[in-house]
Amino acid sequence: MLKALVIYPNEKTRDIGDILQIARAEIRRRHSNKENPNVKALKFISELGVYVAVYERRCSNKPDVGE
Annotated domain spans of the chain: 2-56
- Please, which residues have CB within 8 angstroms of residue 14's CB and are 6 or more apart in sequence? none
Q: What angle do CA 49, 50, 55 make, to 5 degrees?
A: 160
Render each residue's pLDDT in the chain as its tens digit; 67 residues.
899 999 999 888 889 999 999 999 999 999 888 888 889 999 999 999 999 999 987 766 566 555 5
Q: Indicate left, alpha or beta for 53 from its phi (over 0: left) and psi (-120 to 50: alpha).
A: beta
pLDDT given at position 61: 57
Q: Are 59 and 1 in contact (CB under 8 A)?
A: yes
Q: pTM for the complete prediction?
A: 0.77
pLDDT given at position 62: 60
pLDDT given at position 4: 94
